């Protein structure tokens, strides 16, 4: 009796071995779990379910054992793949989960987030996030040709690389402690699981004699990583 959490796989054809390792993870581990949660940035980029995508096809194939065994899989958007829609999720066998969501994890209410909304010190990113999550922006973007969307995604990737690579920005790329506590307080939980920062850790926050736990998932750039919560 286990529940598995992964995030930030950043699946991309430039790292085909990671897709293979995900497929192995599904066959050997996820298919035996109570549920699998994917907390965003599953894909390096996603420009719409209607765009032909070889990475997406390989992912759907890797998920086949989950569908055949009818294992539940939940997926939350990340900042790279927020345009992933119902159509693709259904094809892969995933249920879309809003960010944030609170789940009952073997009796412990647990807050799940991608994690980007906690990085409130990155004002420039938060402004883009707000804009790009509006239905108007998404409608306009999705009505462009696949080529135009691809060009936009490539450019956004370059700019993001520059932004995160700038050491002056290092401090703002992590979560804001106040935002973490605020999110946990309003969700009334003492456990939070998120990804996004690629800074895997278990943080303990002491608040009024209580201990809050923040579990940060690792990325899959080099090798697979998952958080496994056992039924007590």
Q: Does 10 bind Mn ion (CB under 5 A)?
A: no
Residues 167-206 that bind Mn ion (CB under 5 A): 196
Element (H, E) at 36: strand 35-38
Q: Is 188 helix (H, G, I), strand (E, B) or coil?
A: coil
Nearer to Mn ion, 41 or 53 (CB): 41
| Cα separation, 64 vs 143, whole angstroms | 31
216 makes contact with Mn ion (CB under 5 A)? no
Convert 90-110 into a string of H (helix), E (strand) and C (coil): HHHCCEECCCCEEEEECCEEE
Smallest gap, in angstroms, from Cβ of residue 94 to Mn ion?
17
Binding status of residue 41 toward Mn ion by CB under 5 A: yes
Number of H helices, E strands in the chain: 8, 10
* Among 48, 56, 78, 100, interactor with Mn ion by CB under 5 A: 78
32: left (phi over 0), alpha (psi -120 to 50) or beta: alpha
Determine the distance from the C-alpha atom of residue 135 to the mean position of all C-alpha atoms in its chain, rounded to a whole number: 20
Q: Is 122 in the site for Mn ion (CB under 5 A)?
A: no
* 10, 219 Cβ separation under 8 angstroms: yes
Contact between 79 and Mn ion by CB under 5 A: the answer reads: yes
Q: Is 169 exposed, middle or buried (0-12, 13-18, 19+ CB in 10 A)?
A: middle
Q: Is the peptide bond before 206 cis (omega within 30 degrees of 0)?
A: no
Site membership for Mn ion, residue 83 (CB under 5 A): no
Q: How far apart are CA 142 and CA 102, in angstroms?
A: 30
Establish if 44 lies at the interface with Mn ion (CB under 5 A). Answer: no
The reply to whether 48 sits near Mn ion by the rule CB under 5 A is no
Nearer to Mn ion, 149 or 196 (CB): 196
Least separation in angstroms between residue 81's CB and Mn ion is 9
Q: Which is nearer to Mn ion, 33 or 59 (CB)?
A: 59
Of 48 and 78, which CB lies nearer to Mn ion in the complex structure?
78
Window contacting Mn ion (CB under 5 A); options: 36-44, 66-74, 129-137, 141-149: 36-44
Q: Quick one: tokens of 41?
A: 């940035």
Tokens standing for residue 170: 């290092």
User: Between residues 79 and 117, which has the closer beta carbon with respect to Mn ion?
Assistant: 79
Q: How far is the CB of 82 from Mn ion (least distance, A)?
A: 10
Q: Smallest gap, in angstroms, from Cβ of residue 77 to Mn ion?
A: 10
Contacts (CB under 5 A) with Mn ion, residues 133-172: none
Least Å from the CB of residue 101 to Mn ion: 16
Query: For binding to Mn ion (CB under 5 A), which residues are involved?
Result: 41, 78-79, 196
């Amino acid at each position: 009796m286990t529940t598995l959490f992964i995030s930030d796989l950043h699946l991309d054809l430039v790292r085909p071995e990671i897709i293979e390792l995900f497929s192995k993870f599904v066959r050997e581990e996820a298919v035996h779990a109570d549920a699998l949660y994917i907390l965003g940035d599953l894909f390096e980029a996603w420009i719409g379910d209607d765009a032909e995508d070889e990475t997406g096809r390989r992912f759907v194939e890797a998920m086949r054992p989950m569908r055949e065994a009818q294992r539940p899989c939940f997926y939350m958007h990340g900042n790279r793949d927020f345009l992933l829609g119902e159509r693709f999720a259904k094809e892969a066998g995933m249920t879309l989960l809003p960010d944030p969501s609170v789940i009952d994890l073997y009796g412990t209410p647990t807050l799940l987030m991608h994690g980007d909304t906690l990085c409130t010190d990155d004002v420039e990113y938060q402004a883009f996030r707000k804009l790009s999550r509006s239905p108007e922006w998404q409608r306009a973007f999705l009505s462009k040709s696949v080529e135009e969307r691809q060009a936009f995604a490539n450019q956004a990737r370059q700019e993001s690389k520059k932004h995160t690579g700038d050491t002056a920005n290092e401090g703002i790329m992590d979560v804001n402690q106040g935002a973490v506590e605020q999110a946990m307080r309003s969700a009334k939980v003492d456990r939070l699981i998120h990804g996004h920062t690629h800074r895997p850790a278990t943080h303990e926050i002491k608040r009024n004699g209580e201990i809050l736990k923040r579990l940060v998932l690792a990325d899959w750039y080099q090798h697979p990583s998952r958080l496994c919560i056992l039924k007590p």
